[in-house]
Amino acid sequence: MHTSTMRNFETRRSLPTLLLIDDDMVSREVTATVLTMNGYPVHTAVDGAEALKMLTGGDCAPEVILMDAQMPGLSGTRLIAELRTRTKAKIVAVSGSNPPSEVAEAADGFLLKPFDADILGKLLEGQPLTGAPAKGSRLDPNQPVISMETLAQFRAMMPEPAIREIYTAVIADLIKRTQSLEGAIARGEDLEVRRIGHAIKGGCGMAGAMQAAHLGALFEELPPNTESNHLDNSMALLSDLRAATRNLERMLEAELPA
């Protein structure tokens, strides 16, 4: 994640109001924090239904809507169609991987997680953006637990207790998702495993939790369980994810002690 220097007051007043729709708590809160610190007025919704309720009730009047491209419930092209009946805002699909072609065509733009305020600004100015998510690898002890650049940017924007709160939330979310992964793997629910991996990749990527984000990408890319070594691969990744979570906990105590 990269953010620009804090914008001056006149620039802040000219920035569009945003509505961020994302079911993943970590990704939503980190993104909202970064965009707010860069001067954007931001409203958030946990899913498509809440976003529609906010728009219908007049709770917000966004000029730009950032919507996660892969959410449970009302999402994708159906959500875009419903949004367009309630607002004239520009709709930007956001995803940790390339979105379905129909979603990309229906939206007014696309951003790849993790993104920053400068990239959003370029998109709103009409500059074309391209790119593909980086491929990950199994847990590498030489790979940074977090991006020190991201940590430095957080420190430039907010006090240490607020940063600790962000990473505490990331760790709690990882523990919860690891448990969900274990159950989905045991039941052979490939789609759920990939969905959880996608969420880990996106949320941890926005927070700069590099090891966990790479492992989330690998869960998302797991082949169908018809592969003979599918279970072994899944369990190995699950062990790696637990180790990455412990590494993140140690980093939190070392860098941001309570």
Per-residue pLDDT of the chain (258 residues), as tens digits, is 444 434 444 444 578 999 999 999 988 988 898 888 888 999 999 999 999 999 999 989 999 999 998 888 888 999 999 999 999 999 999 987 777 778 877 888 888 877 777 778 877 766 544 443 333 336 766 678 999 889 999 999 999 999 999 999 999 999 999 999 988 888 888 899 999 999 999 999 999 999 999 999 999 988 776 554 556 678 888 888 988 998 899 888 888 887
CB within 8 Å of 7: residues ≥ 6 apart:
15, 38, 39
Q: End-to-end CA distance of the chain, in Å?
A: 25
Amino acid found at 148: M
pLDDT at 160: 92
Measured between alpha carbons, how far is 203 from 175 in angstroms, rounded to an integer? 13
**Other CB atoms within 10 A of residue 10 CB:** 7
Q: Where are the domains of the chain?
A: 9-124, 148-255
Measured between alpha carbons, how far is 206 from 96 in angstroms, rounded to an integer? 10
Both tokens assigned to 3 = 């953010």
Examine domains 9-124 and 148-255 and report if their fold is the same.
Answer: no
Q: What is the DSSP string of 11-37?
A: HHHHSPPEEEE-S-HHHHHHHHHHHHH
Amino acid found at 160: E
- In angstroms, the Cα distances linking 104 to 131, 176, 199 are 14, 31, 19
Report the CATH fold assignment for 148-255: Four Helix Bundle (Hemerythrin (Met), subunit A) (1.20.120)
Q: Which CATH superfamily is domain 9-124 in?
A: Response regulator (3.40.50.2300)
- Name the residue among 159, 137, 144 with its Cα closest to residue 37: 159
> Using an 8 Å Cβ cutoff, are 27 and 113 in contact?
yes
> Using an 8 Å Cβ cutoff, are 91 and 67 in contact?
yes
Measured between alpha carbons, how far is 199 from 213 in angstroms, rounded to an integer? 9
Measured between alpha carbons, how far is 13 from 152 in angstroms, rounded to an integer? 26
pLDDT at 55: 95
pLDDT at 10: 44
Measured between alpha carbons, how far is 248 from 254 in angstroms, rounded to an integer? 10
